Homo-oligomer: A and B are copies of this chain.
Amino acid sequence: MEEKEISQAVVARLPRYFRYLGELKEQEVERISSGDLSVLMGVTASQIRQDLNHFGGFGQQGYGYNVDYLYHEIGRILGLDGEYRLIIVGTGNLGQALANYMNFEKRGFVVKGLFDISEGLVGKKLRGLEIMHINRMEQFIKEHKIDIAVLTVPKERAIETAEMLVHCGVKAILNFAHVDLNVPDGVQVENVHLSDSLMKLSYNIKRYEKNVRGNVSGVRKEG
């Protein structure tokens, strides 16, 4: 099936469909209507039908979606039918946590190498892989045809490290450094800015408290 170019907003929602369908599959559910899926996922049925229509639509009116088929099709569309070779650059706490996070491999994201510049870390082993010095990275990326670099170096070194990664030919960077990377077209970047998530929380805590206070004082005035 040929899919059309779809918006990044829809792409961003696909992993969630994939996750829910995977869970339905584990529960041996064979078919599900857009209505039931909408209750489960907390989005409207029309949103679901619209999103899945981007791929030509998999549902039949009054008959629902075939869970297994839809799960595999979305997986294929997300590129999860392939294998991706990863390196982790920066093996501090976060890099080590990610190296140990086995769930990635299940989806075809295989960690092939670990890199750092710290003398205390180079030579150590994590999950059977020896942490290598970053000056061996260029050769390694080329020899092992690395697709994705997970970047967990400190902010101060992130931009130059990303330039090196692009130069070596990685296709994508998962960036945890709290800085925007400037990469050429054709290199994909996803940012995970944890501080930004915390700031969104603090904004929403504050807004909620203000609304609650507002309501309370409104009640008082009427009393």
In the assembled complex, the Cα of A69 lies from the Cα of B174 at a distance in Å of 33
Q: A190 touching B180 by the CB < 8 A rule?
A: no
Q: CB-CB contacts of A36-69 with B at 8 A, as 1s and 0s?
A: 0000011000000000000000000000000000
**Chief secondary structure at chain A's binding surface:** helix
Tell me the nearest residue of chain B to A189, going by C-beta: B201
A77 to chain B minimum Cβ distance, whole angstroms, is 7
A157 to chain B minimum Cβ distance, whole angstroms, is 15
**Copy number in this complex?**
2
Chain B residues, CB < 8 A from A108: 202
Known A93-B96, A96-B97, A97-B96; contact A84-B186, beta-carbon cutoff 8 A = no
Q: B103 touching A178 by the CB < 8 A rule?
A: yes
Q: A79 touching B194 by the CB < 8 A rule?
A: no
Q: A196 touching B93 by the CB < 8 A rule?
A: no
In the assembled complex, the Cα of A189 lies from the Cα of B174 at a distance in Å of 23
Known A192-B197, A198-B104, A198-B107; contact A203-B97, beta-carbon cutoff 8 A = no
A66 to chain B minimum Cβ distance, whole angstroms, is 21
Tell me the nearest residue of chain B to A109, going by C-beta: B198
Q: Does A94 contact B (CB under 8 A)?
A: yes
Chain B residues, CB < 8 A from A14: 199, 203
Q: B202 touching A104 by the CB < 8 A rule?
A: no
In the assembled complex, the Cα of A103 lies from the Cα of B223 at a distance in Å of 46
The residue from B19, B188, B199 contacting A107, defined by CB atoms under 8 A apart: B199
Chain B residues, CB < 8 A from A212: 186
Chain B residues, CB < 8 A from A96: 93, 97
Q: A196 touching B15 by the CB < 8 A rule?
A: yes
Tell me the nearest residue of chain B to A152, going by C-beta: B97
Q: Does A12 contact B (CB under 8 A)?
A: yes
Q: CB within 8 Å of B: which residues of A?
A: 5, 8, 11-12, 14-16, 18-19, 41-42, 77-80, 82, 84, 92-94, 96-98, 100-101, 103-104, 107-109, 147-148, 171-172, 174, 178, 180, 186, 188, 190, 192-208, 212
7 examples of A-B residue contacts, CB within 8 angstroms: A11-B200, A19-B178, A84-B198, A93-B101, A96-B97, A103-B178, A174-B198
